[in-house]
Chain A
Amino acid sequence: AQSVAQPEDQVNVAEGNPLTVKCTYSVSGNPYLFWYVQYPNRGLQFLLKYITGDNLVKGSYGFEAEFNKSQTSFHLKKPSALVSDSALYFCAVRDLVGQFYFGTGTSLTVIP
């Protein structure tokens, strides 16, 4: 069975500091991993995905994520946080028939 876990409900970081939002996964077979962001009262927006290839994936708005097979992790990162990055972040894994399994979300607050 596929699943993802986001161990932190809330992450606070000062503006300009690097940020990390954690995600671990459990899949059978090759993982197809995704990050989404949700701003208040909006739907989810796609940020980036890992399918195969380079373990460091670059996405929208300066975000990147590192796939680590040995640690079964796919942490989201950004070198320098902006106040506008404050939002809810979801990690997800997709199975071969197209069903997505989402984590419970991590609320990121960037403090000015």
Chain B
Amino acid sequence: DVKVTQSSRYLVKRTGEKVFLECVQDMDHENMFWYRQDPGLGLRLIYFSYDVKMKEKGDIPEGYSVSREKKERFSLILESASTNQTSMYLCASSLRTSGRGTQYFGPGTRLTVL
């Protein structure tokens, strides 16, 4: 089975702090994704990566950056956390196979910024 793990299930940070969210997958997937989920808005893509050291902006990249130094690990960084970044953050991975690859999700990190 594909396993996607996220470093924390719950996280509480203060405004202005730098926050790191880590995601690791064990199935050698090329593609990795970071989403945030908010009530009524569904999932919104922050960034995705289709290879090591490669990244693409999603729909809402402002205030976030990412790092992919190894194939299995994709990190989301909040440079200076703000209260409007309080949300559920979901990591996902998939094979690159054109159109067919299923996306597999981690359990999510619920971040609260005070």
Contact = CB atoms under 8 A, between A and B. Distances in A.
Contact of A90 (B33, B43, B107): B43
A70 B4 CA distance: 36
A40 to B, nearest CB: 11
B100 A32 contact: yes
Contacts of A42: 107-108
Contacts of B110: 41
Contacts, number: 62
B84 interface: no
Chain B interface size, as a band, is 20 to 34
B39 to A, nearest CB: 9
Interface in A36-87: 36, 41-46, 49, 51
A45 B45 CA distance: 17
Interface of B: 4, 9, 30-31, 33, 35, 40-43, 45, 48, 50, 58, 90, 92, 94, 96, 98-108, 110
Interface of A: 9, 30, 32, 34, 36, 41-46, 49, 51, 90, 92, 94-100, 102-105
